[in-house]
A and B are shown apart, each in its own frame.
Chain A
Amino acid sequence: MRNFLNQFFTSYQNLVFIYCCAIYTVYAMLTFFSYLSIIANRRRNRIREKLVMIQSPLSPGISIITAAFNEEMTIIHNVRSLLNMNYPLFEVIIVNDGSTDQTLGKLVKEFQLTEVAFAYNYFIACTEVQQVYKSENPACSNLIVINKLNGGCKADAINAGINVSNYPYFLNTDVDCILDNDTLIQLIQPFVDDDKRVIATGATLRMANDCVIDSGVLVDAKVPTQWLPIFQEIEYIRSFVLGKMGWNLVNAIPNVSGGLGMFDKEIVVKAGGYDPTSFGEDMDMMMRMCKYMLETKQEYAIRYLPQSLCWTEGPSTMKVFKRQRIRWGRGLYQIFSSYYKLLFNPKYKMLGLVVLPYNFIFEFCAPFVECLGVLCYIYLIVFHLINWPFALVLLLFVYSFSILITLLAILWDQLVIRRYRIREVLKLCMFAFIEPIVYHPMVMIFALMGYANQFRKAKSHWGHMERKGFTQPKIEAIN
């Protein structure tokens, strides 16, 4: 038995080393690609004037669809902020997903809503829509509020919103997200300015936890002060600025975030809409959209922008964070159990040969590889089989490379936008040093718990994110 274990762990060490080299090669490549993408984006922004979109009578209409569940604290400010978007033709669709608080009542009162005899058609399946409201105030004529039975998830509510939307593109966002005023102009641009048919676009999301927000508008962007949101901020920067922008260059973006994404409605409807049973509904939707495009032999592109256009409140307590990550873990497991036939399938081109294999090997398998790696180390230490100098060199290799990748992501982010003060950027850099030791193991463990729950088909509820609310700007007394 001992011999077997010795042999197994020795072989495993080699496997992990190869795995590690492969993943770092991909990250190095992504770092380079993301730099090229960011530069290309900067150049394009210098040439393309957003005024064209505002002035043109041909600009396509956009529906902003967002689900609200027990959001009475912030709903009014957030809807006002959505209604003030800088774009010539858009509508705002708020889907009240069976809220048990005063969310609907407040909306009705504030925006002078009245129930209308809406001929609702369930083009995409969703739970029963009870009422549709429109505003009697002409200034809010582009606001539609849908009241429906609770569907238990955001996907169901978004489907309900798609069914009433009037425009060819829709923006899917969370009602508590703070959007930049130019979000629509920025996100629609790839749809109208790309050689291929763009089916979805997204942009960078940031933590809003300690930002100063006034009436749904971001006044001052700040790095979170609590340690859990700071780590998430670092993770988001790395994932969006480096990961997604890197994949953007080769048109291999795996997913458009559920927090902020603009979609081609026609393709979403043809692909069957969002799946309410999926825990990773955003990635599932993208998979089905890509699958549809490939099966109908249409060329397509998914584009990402490096600009931070959306600020969202990240979990600040371990309980909520754990629940979120377990759900993400379950979502990833579901994706691979649903789309395993696409994996390494040349028929699905980039999706089958790059996007899914990468996500399977380096995202889905990573928690297994890492946890087994830790066990292997413990075993080698306990039985005095470890070569300490070699182990230290390998540790240094893994650690230093990880830090370098994170710091480059922060640097690239600074090339795009300089919202944070320099002190705060340096704070982010400092946290990058402890993130691999403190935060990353937690993420891995929660992912494994998610896989286990999904494997056991454990019952789960989506849970409501407990919001702490945003910091309001200080109003100085006028003497």
Chain B
Amino acid sequence: MLYNRKMWLPKAAVLPVLLRTWPPAWNTYPVFIKICFIISMVALIGILLAMADIYIWRTAKRRKDRKKLRLSEDITRLLMNTVVMEPAKLNSGMSKAKLDTRPFLKLGINDKDVRSLFVCELINYRNYFTGAIAARVRQLYLDLSLDKEARKLLYKKNWETKSIVLSELFKMDIEVDNAYLLELTHHKNRYIRGFARLSMIKFTKGDPLAFLRQITEPISQWEEFEIFLVFQQKENYTLSSLEGLIAVDREPSVVSLCLKLAVYFKDLSAVKLIMDIIQTPDLKLRAEAIASLGKLEASDAEAFLISIYGAEPQEIRLVILTALGMIRSGNSLEFLENEFISSDDFETKMNASDALIKQYPLSQNTIDKLMNNSAALEHRILSHSLNPLINAL
């Protein structure tokens, strides 16, 4: 409802009157009419400009798009011929041999737009190929001296340019001056800060976790995903001690990331640290810590989890039940059975049932007993947990 309309006027009758009285009467008109008239004129000019802009802009864009498409095809063809389809060089370990850059220079990569499109294609190739091909794409980037220009752009004031260039260098595996990078990790712009952190973690010579210790403000989930991917893609990396990182006084988002890393790298030495932070007043973090114990299959923590169960709020209890199921030691069967039978809460029954089923075949006798003795809802819950189709996601 963008309009407020209040009139329809017979134009034929009105126009002559207007023409007769206008413009000599202008000075006699009230201010609001004058303002309305001026705004109307501005709006009419705006209408013409908007329409012209749509037409001109679209026409120019269409031309640009066509040019871009042709260029993109040329780039793809060249990359396929030079980088991907040279199995002889790839197989003979010549992936680091200097590439013929002349055809690429003919594309006009000195032009800003062409360069941007070309780098974008290179990054795509590095995303979709690994090993020798990815290495040759990087080699090509270096041979064309694109890194030098990127390094220059890195010192520009514009935050967008800075973050795009940081991301480009990061994806091309090109290290940036460490001191400057460290400075950027405290930049006020979140994108620059984020990419600088990623680069620090990726290229740091020492322990990449050390850098996480410096983070004092919350990191977004997106950053968490990116940092996790960097750790995941680090070759031959073994996680060092998470002591001091999985701690109550640490920023919760950093602790959360470390919990995920501990699970991914199956770091059983972190179990003790995780158990220590379960006292945290942050319920979300507490739930995450308990879930991590489950994923780590930390049987040492089983008795501890059962001991705290009674004093925990409902949402944490549910997480404990799930964690016990994942630990799969068979030591918590009696506890889970009791919870299943005694609780009146649907979700508690469901989680206890799921936890029992996860411990199969250790829990076979318990499940059989419960199936034989249960009726109505309890029987349905057990059947639900036992059904492989329901749990197949």
Evaluate whether A58 and B224 lie within 8 angstroms (CB atoms) in the complex, with A425-B58, A443-B1 already known.
yes
Q: Which of B5, B33, B47, B393 contacts A141 (CB 8 A)?
A: B393
Evaluate whether A377 and B8 lie within 8 angstroms (CB atoms) in the complex, with A116-B390, A404-B50 already known.
yes
Is B7 in contact with A373, judged by CB distance below 8 angstroms? Answer: yes
Collect the chain A residues with CB atoms within 8 Å of residue B3's CB. 370, 398, 402, 436, 440
Q: Which of B22, B32, B44, B62 contacts A17 (CB 8 A)?
A: B32
Collect the chain A residues with CB atoms within 8 Å of residue B228's CB. 56-58
* A367-409 CB contacts (< 8 Å) to partner B: 367, 369-370, 373-374, 376-377, 388-408
Cα-based distance from A118 to B390 in the complex (angstroms): 8
Cα-based distance from A429 to B393 in the complex (angstroms): 47
Cβ of B163 under 8 Å from chain A:
yes
Q: B25, B222, B381, B392 — which one has the most chain A CB atoms within 10 A of its CB?
A: B222
Is B389 in contact with A136, judged by CB distance below 8 angstroms? Answer: yes
* B29-84 CB contacts (< 8 Å) to partner A: 29, 32-33, 36-37, 39-40, 43-44, 46-47, 50-51, 53-55, 57-59, 61-62, 65
Q: How close is A202's CB to chain B, nearest CB, in angstroms?
A: 19
- B1-35 toward A: CB 8 Å interface, digit per residue (1/0)? 11111111101011101100110010001001100
* B86-134 CB contacts (< 8 Å) to partner A: 127
Is B2 in contact with A406, judged by CB distance below 8 angstroms? Answer: yes
Q: Which of A20, A114, A136, A393 contacts B37 (CB 8 A)?
A: A393
Collect the chain B residues with CB atoms within 8 Å of residue A458's CB. none
Cβ of B85 under 8 Å from chain A:
no
Collect the chain A residues with CB atoms within 8 Å of residue B44's CB. 400
Q: Which of A52, A191, A410 contacts B226 (CB 8 A)?
A: A52
Stretch at the interface among A69-77, A192-200, A282-290, A339-347: A192-200
Is B222 in contact with A52, judged by CB distance below 8 angstroms? Answer: yes
Collect the chain A residues with CB atoms within 8 Å of residue B392's CB. 134, 138, 141
Stretch at the interface among A40-48, A78-86, A273-281: A40-48
Cα-based distance from A51 to B59 in the complex (angstroms): 31
Evaluate whether A238 and B2 lie within 8 angstroms (CB atoms) in the complex, with A47-B163, A401-B40 already known.
yes
Q: How close is A243's CB to chain B, nearest CB, in angstroms?
A: 8
Cα-based distance from A362 to B2 in the complex (angstroms): 8
Cα-based distance from A214 to B383 in the complex (angstroms): 40
Collect the chain B residues with CB atoms within 8 Å of residue A59's CB. 225
Collect the chain A residues with CB atoms within 8 Å of residue B220's CB. 192-195
Q: Which of A119, A138, A195, A398 contacts B383 (CB 8 A)?
A: A119
Cβ of A142 under 8 Å from chain B:
yes
Cβ of B164 under 8 Å from chain A:
yes
What residue of chain B has the Cβ atom nearest to residue A332's Cβ?
Answer: B1
Evaluate whether A426 and B54 lie within 8 angstroms (CB atoms) in the complex, with A52-B226, A58-B225, A388-B18 already known.
yes
Cα-based distance from A49 to B194 in the complex (angstroms): 13
What residue of chain A has the Cβ atom nearest to residue B127's Cβ?
Answer: A51
What residue of chain B has the Cβ atom nearest to residue A194's Cβ?
Answer: B220
- B350-393 toward A: CB 8 Å interface, digit per residue (1/0)? 10000000000000000000000000010011011001011011
Collect the chain B residues with CB atoms within 8 Å of residue A426's CB. 51, 54-55
- A237-271 toward B: CB 8 Å interface, digit per residue (1/0)? 01000010000000000000000000000000000
Cβ of B160 under 8 Å from chain A:
yes
Is A116 in contact with B43, judged by CB distance below 8 angstroms? Answer: no
Is A440 in contact with B5, judged by CB distance below 8 angstroms? Answer: yes
Cβ of A55 under 8 Å from chain B:
yes
Cα-based distance from A370 to B8 in the complex (angstroms): 12
Evaluate whether A192 and B2 lie within 8 angstroms (CB atoms) in the complex, with A58-B228, A389-B17 already known.
no
Evaluate whether A397 and B222 lie within 8 angstroms (CB atoms) in the complex, with A16-B6, A141-B393 already known.
no
What residue of chain B has the Cβ atom nearest to residue A380's Cβ?
Answer: B7
Cβ of A228 under 8 Å from chain B:
no
Cβ of A166 under 8 Å from chain B:
yes
Q: Which of A116, A141, A394 contacts B36 (CB 8 A)?
A: A394
Is B229 in contact with A391, judged by CB distance below 8 angstroms? Answer: no
Cβ of B191 under 8 Å from chain A:
yes
Is A408 in contact with B160, judged by CB distance below 8 angstroms? Answer: no
Evaluate whether A400 and B43 lie within 8 angstroms (CB atoms) in the complex, with A414-B57, A422-B58 already known.
yes
What residue of chain A has the Cβ atom nearest to residue B41's Cβ?
Answer: A400
Q: A141, A243, A389, A422 — which one has the most chain B CB atoms within 10 A of its CB?
A: A389
Cβ of A121 under 8 Å from chain B:
yes
What residue of chain B has the Cβ atom nearest to residue A141's Cβ?
Answer: B392
Evaluate whether A46 and B50 lie within 8 angstroms (CB atoms) in the complex, with A27-B2, A141-B392, A189-B222 already known.
no
Is A48 in contact with B393, judged by CB distance below 8 angstroms? Answer: no
Is A388 in contact with B393, judged by CB distance below 8 angstroms? Answer: no
* A151-209 CB contacts (< 8 Å) to partner B: 166, 189, 191-195
Collect the chain B residues with CB atoms within 8 Å of residue A440's CB. 3, 5
Collect the chain A residues with CB atoms within 8 Å of residue B2's CB. 27, 238, 243, 402, 405-406
Is B4 in contact with A370, judged by CB distance below 8 angstroms? Answer: yes
What residue of chain A has the Cβ atom nearest to residue B36's Cβ?
Answer: A397
Cβ of A366 under 8 Å from chain B:
yes
Is A117 in contact with B383, judged by CB distance below 8 angstroms? Answer: yes
Is A47 in contact with B191, judged by CB distance below 8 angstroms? Answer: yes
Cα-based distance from A118 to B389 in the complex (angstroms): 10
Please list the residues of chain A having a beta carbon within 8 angstroms of any beta carbon in chain B.
16-17, 19-20, 23, 27, 43, 46-49, 51-53, 55-60, 91, 114, 116-119, 121, 134-136, 138, 141-142, 166, 189, 191-195, 238, 243, 362-363, 366-367, 369-370, 373-374, 376-377, 388-408, 410-411, 414, 418, 422, 425-426, 429, 436-437, 440-441, 443-444, 447
A–B pairs, 17, beta carbons within 8 Å: A16-B4, A20-B6, A46-B164, A47-B163, A47-B164, A48-B222, A118-B390, A192-B220, A389-B25, A389-B29, A391-B7, A396-B37, A400-B40, A400-B44, A407-B50, A407-B54, A425-B58
